[in-house]
Every structure is written in structure tokens, then in C-alpha cells.
Amino acid sequence: MKDKVGILVSEVLYSRIKRKAFTHENIAFYEQAGDQYGVSLCYLRLADLIPGHKFVKALVPTEKDNYIQIKIEKPRVIHNRMLGTTGMDKRKFTLLKKEGVSFFNEITRYSKLDIYNKLISDAKLAKHQPDTMPVTKENLQVMMKKHKQLIIKPDLGTLGSGVSKLTRESERTWTLDDGRSRQAFSIKAVWPKKLEDLCTVGGYIVQEKIPLAAFYGSAFDIRAAVQKDINGEWQVTGLVGKAAGKGKFVTNVARGGRCYSLEMILEDCDLDKEKVKLSLEELALHVAHVLDHHIPSLADIGLDIGLTSEGFPMFIECNGRDQRYSFKEAGLLEVWKMTYFHPIGYARWLLNQSE
């Protein structure tokens, strides 16, 4: 009998798989990867995984292109695709690991400030990160002295929502742009209420704005899928460009961003494409290796990397549950498929290690 690999999904995704409703996750790719690597797939909810129980309720694909919910023996390897976990979930993971279940990507949601602090101690990475601080009134004043443009964003990601931009217009005047409206203010006078609120509410960071290169007038950044594979090694599965929607300064697809292949997005830049690709891959791999020392069972990340007009790559953020569909949006269907194949290859590698 084939070894089983579990994909731990949210309640919502579980129910959509069961009903065969549309999902952004291309579940069929996991199953094709299972055929390639000699494992069978099942989909699990955390609520059904009970420490001490040998069996678990799971969704299993049938030959008739359907899914049945049955009790199966707990898989030994589980790929976590849930976003965020509570303290109780973490305790459950700990108990299940003690029973011999291996999870990978156990933690999928990271504090941006935490990641910044982890990466800044690496000599090579220091110059590839924008200056960053937690938002307080004092820190904003420090950052406004040092930089002409700043980004304020939630420390825990929200698909580009809640991101604001501060721009110095003259020595004393700044504008705050929250993506919906702009407000000018004098640094010495009363600050806009929105900005004052950001200083007191907590959970926000302020960052030097990276002067992002543009694709026909729209700022863009790059999503890099970095994953462990059948050899248990990190590799860059793919790179894809995300250009901001008209008049926007965030590139998130959820905020109107559009995806293009790297070749296409670099079309409007006077840069050596091969050199840029290599430097993006090098940075992405280095970030993955450094984070691997800090985050347990890390094996699948989606990095946002900005590119200056000189082609210098700057790390923006790390996603622990990459939605992967940027590759589909850009028409990079083979890369999109590989973002599902590598985690299953890695699951195979983990199974081989424990045999």
C-alpha cells in the first residue's frame, strides 16, 4: 500500500473540496504529484486530528474523480496549509509530533518585524532589507528625518490592505496616502487622526519605501516560490512579477495587481534580465536558508521581493502559505503545477528519512 500524505486545510477549503466547489488551490495537482512520487493524498481538518487516536477522519480521492470522507490511519507526514494557528492548535501539533507525525510548514503566519530582525543579523542580507521599525510617534519622527518616503503596514499581513504611504513634499510638509485618500500635513502641527491612531493602536510597522522599478508606469515587485523538494533541499520553483493597479502603490492581486512573467515585467526596464534573475534567485535562496534556522519545519515559502530601477533586489516579506495562483495568473502553468509537486516530493523525502 502507498504511503499517505495529509494536506491540512481550513474548514472552508475542506468543505469546498468535499462539495467539489471551485477552489483557488489546485487540489488535482497534489494528486498528480502523489502519482509521481508514489504517495496517496488525503485532506484533513485540524479538528479531526486527535492526539492519542490511531485513526482520523479524512477526505480521500476516489477513482471516480470524487472524494469520500472515511476514517484512515493517521498519515505520518502532513503538509500544513492552514493560515495561522492558535495556542491550542500549537499544543495539538506538539502532541501529534510526539506520536511521530511530521508536519511541515507548521507555522504559516509570521510577524514582519520578527522576520526583519531574524534577517538583519545576517551580514549578507542587511543591505537587502528596507529600514524598519515598529510604529510609534517617536519612531515615525526618526524615520521621517531619515527617509523621503515611508510605508506603514500591519505587522501581520492582510493581502495589501491597511498599507499607507507617507511622502515628504517639502521640509515640513508630508502627505499621508492610505490607498483611498490623501491628506497633507505639517510635521510640526497636528497630524491627521488616522496617523495618530496608527501610532497608538499597535501592531503596525514603518518601513523605508523601496523605490520600486516600474512596468509601464506601475510599480512592481516579484513573488518567489522557494520550496524544499524530493532531495530535501531548498530550490526556487519560480519567479513572477506583480504590477500594481492604476494609481496604487501595493502590488497584491487582491488589490488589483496584475501578474506577468519575469521576462515580460522586465521588458520596460533597461536591465540585464539574466543577471536580475540570478540575483533574485540568490537572495530568495539565502533568505530561505537563514529562516530555516529560525522557523521549525519550514519547507514552502512565498517571498515578496522588490526590485529597484537599478535591478537591486530588496526583501519585502515572507508568506508561509503562498497562494501560488500568481503563477497561474501570469500564465506560467508549468511553474504553478510545480509549486504543488515540490511539497509532495518533499513529503516523499521525509517519509524516506523515517523508513
Ligand X SMILES: Nc1ncnc2c1ncn2[C@@H]1O[C@H](COP(=O)(O)OP(=O)(O)OP(=O)(O)O)[C@@H](O)[C@H]1O
Interface residues with ligand X (CB under 6 A) are 130, 151, 153, 157-160, 163, 207, 209-210, 212, 221, 250-252, 304, 306, 316-317, 319
Interatomic CA distance for residues 177 and 67, integer angstroms = 47
Residue 158: name its binding partner from ligand X, Mg ion, none (Cβ under 5 to 8 Å by kind): ligand X
Residue 322 in the binding site for Mg ion (CB under 5 A): no
Nearer to ligand X, 140 or 151 (CB): 151
Q: How far is the CB of 351 from ligand X (least distance, A)?
A: 30
Q: Which is nearer to ligand X, 195 or 259 (CB)?
A: 259
Name the residue nearer to ligand X (CB basis): 15 or 161.
Answer: 161
Q: How far is the CB of 163 from ligand X (least distance, A)?
A: 5
Question: Can you read off the three cell numbers belonging to residue 279?
Answer: 540575483
Q: According to CB under 5 A, which residues from 29 to 48 bind Mg ion? A: none
Task: Using the rule CB under 5 A, give the single segment among 28-36, 143-151, 256-264, 304-312 that binds Mg ion.
Answer: 304-312
Q: What is the DSSP string of 343-354?
A: HHHHHHHHHHHH
Instruction: Measure Cα distances from 269 to 153, 246, 276 in Å.
Output: 28, 18, 11
**Phi/psi of residue 3, nearest 5 degrees:** -65, 150
User: What residues have CB less than 8 Å from 351, skipping those under 6 apart?
Assistant: 3, 5, 39, 76, 77
58 binds, among Mg ion, ligand X, none (CB under 5 to 8 A by kind): none
Q: In the block, which residue shows the cell 503596514?
A: 153
288 binds, among ligand X, Mg ion, none (CB under 5 to 8 A by kind): none
Tell me the β-bridge partners of 241.
Answer: 222, 260
166 binds, among ligand X, Mg ion, none (CB under 5 to 8 A by kind): none
> Of the two residues 102 and 237, which places its CB atom closer to Mg ion in the complex?
237
- Minimum CB separation from ligand X for residue 107, in Å? 13
Cβ at position 245, least distance to ligand X in Å: 11
> Quick one: 347 exposed, middle or buried, by C-beta within 10 A (0-12, 13-18, 19+)?
buried
The reply to whether 106 sits near Mg ion by the rule CB under 5 A is: no
CA dist., res. 58 & res. 329, Å (int): 30
**Residue nearest to Mg ion according to CB distances in the complex:** 304
C-alpha count within 13 angstroms, C-beta hemisphere, residue 165? 18
The burial of 11, by beta-carbon neighbours within 10 Å (0-12 exposed, 13-18 middle, 19 or more buried), is given as exposed
Report, in Å, the least distance between residue 177 CB and ligand X. Answer: 12
Coil/strand/helix, residue 181 = coil
Cβ-based nearer residue to Mg ion, 153 or 337: 153
Nearest distance from C-beta of residue 165 to ligand X, angstroms: 8
Is residue 221 a contact point for Mg ion (CB under 5 A)? no
Q: Please, what is the minimum distance in Å from the beta carbon of residue 205 to ligand X?
A: 9
Contact at 8 Å (CB) between 187 and 124?
no
- Judged by CB under 5 A, which of 304, 314, 339, 345 binds Mg ion? 304
Tell me which residue has its CB nearest to ligand X: 157
Q: Smaller CB distance to ligand X: residue 228 or 242?
A: 242
Provide DSSP, 191-220.
Answer: PPHHHHHHHHH--EEEEEPP-B-EETTEEE
Residues lying near Mg ion in the complex (CB under 5 A) = 304
